[in-house]
Chains A and B, each alone.
Chain A
């Protein structure tokens, strides 16, 4: 269906026009959902034990929809600031394709459905973790921390780190050290990932009053903290290779990817002026997504290969 020609314009929420299924999909942040589903799948595959393939698909579906629901609830709450930021001005609510009420009901209903489905059909440890993740993302990150403290994405990042733990719990019905390790890898990956973005989107955040680290503490301090978190992340990502959660192929991949991550983070730290500084931050941001994806892909592929060969 076609809208009635409302232009995307930074700073205002457009008049409501006709919405399409695509607008509801966009509300669920499909790119975030794809990373969530992939990390949850990895958690499920590397977890000890077995799960019926149909139940595994249902669990993944519920986790994916739960992630999408929290994205919709985030867009409902943040519609006012989304309208003022170049990166988010084209989202369905600022464009006037959906109303805030529609986003709220959509997010709330999907949250409830996904939690109930995972809890009833798979197990309640996984269901409770999914409920906690959605609540954490909405109440702790979106409503409480995001507009108040530069630690917003550090603490709020926990919400994005839960999916492999939920996947693991779907198979085992419990939380263990290994699943906590998967959580910690994503948790320490989040700050350098988001702060690299915030470095070159600093003005956007400043305009809407979101206290991202570059806005509050300045780019120099942000660059220092990106470097420090990278120094924690890279060795931490090697640990699965030493505790039996992953094997030598993963370890080699984690080492190679980690070295590249550190190199790019070092460039962000050292190049502080002009266009090159922006480019360095963009490169780190882009690579950070690939890094996490390849890290989990290596773990997943190695595990599947080992099972196949056994």
Chain B
């Protein structure tokens, strides 16, 4: 069975600086996988290559067995690759509903229509509202993003990505900037995500990583240091040395 997402020998260099070195990575269908690593490990570069923001210097990216290395961002999304951003990338002056509806409309092919009003597309509105209800945001549907607390904005990030109904979802630090008292809400939402979506989470909050992920890949200086279950990673001395210090998990 082909992986939901796979990279083979993925490299990226900026001149003499190599930021990704032959990364072989496999995300199984329905997996809950975490990518961790110290600052500057190349996690964001890796995600940017997966999503098409950056072109790899060499190597291949396969989505459900199909080579998507040469495809642009939009085409990867259409094939089922969704993402959230480490720093909120929302439509700040639009309502929460419109933020999600933009994604749903793109997926349903409604977005290019010009002569019928957007509000005359109840399928987009209803699906967006359902999604917001699932994430506990229905009451905020008509608020502007600007008027929303930060924690809820992080949930809208996830809602937009879910509006694309991805087969693979890349969550770039979904709890970044959220006070620890509120991050449990993010975890609750992550736990409830449909099981048929393969999720790769990049996160600094180790509690969240070890509670959420079934497998963890550790990236150091653009290379995969080790991959394993949370227990294996928690026991690995190399990981302790480069990343976790003496902290123990799992």
A and B, one complex? no
Q: Which residues of B contact A (CB under 8 A)?
A: none
Binding site for B on A (CB under 8 A): none
